[in-house]
Amino acid sequence: MNSSIQKFDVFIIGAGPAGSIAAAKLVQKGFCVKVVERQVFPRFVIGESLLPRCNELLSEANMLEAIEKANFQFKGGVAFQDTEHFEIFHFNNNLGEPFNGSFQVKREQFDHELIKDAESKGADVEFESEVIAYDPDLNQVTVKAKDGQIKIYQTKKVIDASGYGRVLPRLLNLDAKPSLALRRATFCRVEGDVRPTDGTDGYIYVDIHGNNDAWVWNIPFNDGITSVGIVCTEEYFQSFNMAEAEFWDHIISTNPSTQKRYASAHKINEVGFLSGYSAAVKKLYGDNFVLVGNASEFLDPVFSSGVTLALESGSVAADLTAKELQGKTVDWQTDYEDYMMRGINVFREFVETWYNGDLQTVFFAGNKEEKIKQAITSVLSGYVWNKDNFFVKKSPHVVSALAQIIQLR
Ligand code: FAD
């Protein structure tokens, strides 16, 4: 039984990037913050390629220094290729965004660095404890600790940063049907791949397989290990009638570019998979709570937007929470939900047109203007709120319109 109710200004569920940045920002503004995380860190999670906007958000939260010290692989851009086409977007050729580089990170290390930094700034972090219930009227959170003890927390705001745990969407029936098709990712880490020698060895390479049937991510770390994942629809995977590891071997050895890159590489862990990861919610906030990161919307891995959106939402939610706790009026609909959905929807258009082929038409058009390339680079850098970018301003139909014009030329 619980002996007493503990009080915190803000209670954060989950110590991933969304929870860590929210915690760090709030403690630096003088609030008393509790973070409860059900796992032991370091822990593995998928999502290893970051965008320049992440660096800006971490810098604003005074967390970039901790990440820079950890010496992750520098990421200068993104390359896309199929058997006939190749296009590369260098982050430093954008619409003039403030940050133009990022990192490839093993998330077990990256997430650990972030939460340690939040803790060193003053957050009270408890690992191996799970949030099991939430009362929105009393604004009380129930936690089951490692030793089985049940604890009750009274708080002014709950920030749900529970990622794939989706704690409040489940407990409050907030889940909505995602708009994207059911897809799966099949992945592992390898050693000994042949990396590009033209200075783009730190870039993420995205290989399109077959007739846009699947795509492969190649994410290089600076210790010689590379993360390699295959993304396709559930139907495509099932059509092979193979186990995950066999499917991974088959695609990697039959795709011409991955065949070359991994000819003498060897796996360093078992092939894992995730299926049906896209998620959506009916509402991003309530009177006393707000959903951030993957506990809210998650689209698709193709443009590596997940951690950027997790940091963006964690950061904005923290700023608005601070304002509210200081007694100021906050319009959560306009300043949080509408704001986040504008950026998410720019990525949504990119994801949808990636899978229907229109975006690839635009990416691979040899005659596109430099301004278009820079505008694409800005989106691929995570700058999806910059209204000077017509992919942002004219979302959601600009990509398909552009593809049509290119095809008519
Ligand atoms: P998480 O990082 O998932 O952290 C949530 C934490 O909450 C976890 O540590 C969990 O243990 C904890 N938790 C859950 N339930 C409870 C509970 N009941 N009580 C207490 N704690 C709890 N993103 C990128 O930016 N780049 C990529 O290259 C990329 N690749 C991806 C590939 C695939 C196949 C997929 C599916 C996603 C990819 N993503 C990528 C997305 C990325 O994984 C997520 O967007 C990101 O991890 C979200 O961060 P978060 O802080 O919201 O949640």
**Where does the pLDDT of residue 4 fall: very low under 50, low under 70, confident under 90, or very high at 90 and above?**
confident
Q: Are 174 and 281 in contact (CB under 8 A)?
A: yes
d(CA 214, CA 186): 11
pLDDT of res. 49: 98
- Report CA(107)–ligand 1 centroid distance (Å): 9
- The dihedral formed by the CA atoms of 334, 337, 338 and 344, expressed in degrees to the nearest 10: 160
Q: What CATH number does residue 328 fall under?
A: 3.50.50.60
Ligand 1 site, residue 9, Cβ cutoff 6 A: no
Ligand 1 site, residue 242, Cβ cutoff 6 A: no
Question: At residue 169, what is the residue type?
Answer: P
pLDDT of res. 277: 87
Kindly report, residue by residue over 253-280, the tens digit of the pLDDT. 999 999 999 999 999 999 999 998 889 9
Residue 117: which H helix or E strand, with range? Answer: helix 107-121
pLDDT of res. 2: 47
Q: What is the mean pLDDT of residues 3-11?
A: 90
Mean pLDDT of the chain: 96
In a domain, 234, yes or no: yes
Q: Are 91 and 381 in contact (CB under 8 A)?
A: yes
- Of all residues in the chain, what percent carry a pLDDT higher than 70? 99
Kindly report, residue by residue over 357-370, the tens digit of the pLDDT. 999 999 999 888 99
pLDDT of res. 179: 85
Q: What is the mean pLDDT of residues 379-386?
A: 97
Ligand 1 site, residue 310, Cβ cutoff 6 A: yes
In a domain, 230, yes or no: yes
Kindly report, residue by residue over 210-228, the tens digit of the pLDDT. 999 999 999 999 999 999 9
63 and 171 in a single domain? The answer is yes
Closest ligand 1 atom, CA of 164? Answer: 3
Closest ligand 1 atom, CA of 219? Answer: 28
Closest ligand 1 atom, CA of 292? Answer: 52
Q: Flag whether pLDDT at 85 surpasses 80.
A: yes
**Where does the pLDDT of residue 141 fall: very low under 50, low under 70, confident under 90, or very high at 90 and above?**
very high
Given ligand 1 and candidates 37, 150, 303, which is best to mutate, with the most ligand atoms within 8 Å of its CB? 37
Given ligand 1 and candidates 162, 290, 316, which is best to mutate, with the most ligand atoms within 8 Å of its CB? 162
For β-strands 33-36 and 175-176, DSSP reports them as: unpaired
Q: What CATH number does residue 217 fall under?
A: 3.30.9.100
Given ligand 1 and candidates 44, 46, 315, which is best to mutate, with the most ligand atoms within 8 Å of its CB? 46
- 111 lies in which domain range? 5-70+104-177+279-342
Q: Flag whether pLDDT at 251 surpasses 90.
A: yes
pLDDT of res. 3: 54
In a domain, 356, yes or no: no
Closest ligand 1 atom, CA of 39? Answer: 11
Kindly report, residue by residue over 301-333, the tens digit of the pLDDT. 999 999 999 999 999 999 999 999 999 999 999
Indicate the pTM of the whole model.
0.98
307 and 167 in a single domain? The answer is yes
End of a domain among 316, 342, 368? 342
- Report CA(43)–ligand 1 centroid distance (Å): 11
In a domain, 57, yes or no: yes
Closest ligand 1 atom, CA of 185? Answer: 34
d(CA 330, CA 199): 46
**Where does the pLDDT of residue 43 fall: very low under 50, low under 70, confident under 90, or very high at 90 and above?**
very high
Ligand 1 site, residue 162, Cβ cutoff 6 A: yes
Q: What is the DSSP string of 349-395?
A: HHHHHHHHSHHHHHHH-TT--HHHHHHHHHHHTT--S-TTSHHHHTT
Q: Flag whether pLDDT at 1 surpasses 70.
A: no
pLDDT of res. 395: 77
